Homo-oligomer: A and B are copies of this chain.
Amino acid sequence: MPTMSKRSLFLAGGAALLAAALPVATRAQAQSVKNRALFQVTDNDPARWNMILNNMQNLREGVAGEPVEIALVAYGPGVNMLKGDSPVKQRIAEALKSGVKVNACQNTMNGMGLKAADMLPEIGYVPSGVVEVMRKQQQGWAYIRS
Contacts and interface: CB of A to CB of B under 8 A. Distances in A.
12 contacts: A7-B9, A8-B12, A11-B16, A11-B19, A12-B12, A15-B15, A36-B134, A37-B133, A40-B145, A58-B128, A133-B144, A137-B142
Contacts of A11: 12-13, 15-16, 19
A29 interface: yes
Given A4-B5, A76-B146, 15 more contacts: A5-B5, A5-B8, A7-B12, A17-B19, A21-B22, A21-B26, A21-B29, A22-B25, A25-B25, A35-B134, A37-B134, A42-B51, A130-B144, A137-B143, A145-B145
Interface residues of A, number: 58
Contact of A131 (B15, B24, B62): B62
